[in-house]
Amino acid sequence: MPGPPRVGFVVSRGVGGAVVRNLVRRRLRELIRARLDRLPEGLLVVRATPQAAVASYAALGADIDRCLERLAAAPA
């Protein structure tokens, strides 16, 4: 039985140096925190691509919203 949503973040070296990776991880964590009510039960893994390093906060939020909509529409 799945529990509350758990989220893991994958931000590889391809995204950038340590400072950039941590910035991307912090942004993603905050964006997900604001959307916890929309997350499904169980485990969700968010993988950052190199484009995340140069994307604006608003663009990252829009990408997360789009992915959550696709996840909600997917058959169980």
pLDDT at 2 over 70: no
Residue 1 has pLDDT above 80, yes or no: no
Q: What is the CA radius of gyration of the chain?
A: 13
Model pLDDT for residues 32-73, shown as the tens digit of each residue: 999 999 998 889 999 999 999 999 999 999 999 999 999 888
> In a 3-state reduction of DSSP, which class is residue 42?
coil
The pLDDT assigned to 41 comes to 87
Q: Report if residue 47 sits inside a domain.
A: yes
The answer to whether residue 56 sits within a structural domain is yes
pLDDT at 3 (0 to 100)? 75
Number of folded domains that form the chain: 1
Q: Is residue 1 part of a domain?
A: no
Q: Report whether 32 contacts 40 (CB < 8 A).
A: no
CATH assignment of the domain containing 25: 3.30.230.10
CA distance 33 to 3: 17
Mean pLDDT, to the nearest integer, of 3-26? 95
Is residue 16 a part of any domain in this protein? yes
What is the residue range of 19's domain?
A: 6-73
Model pTM score: 0.89
Tokens of 29: 């964590």
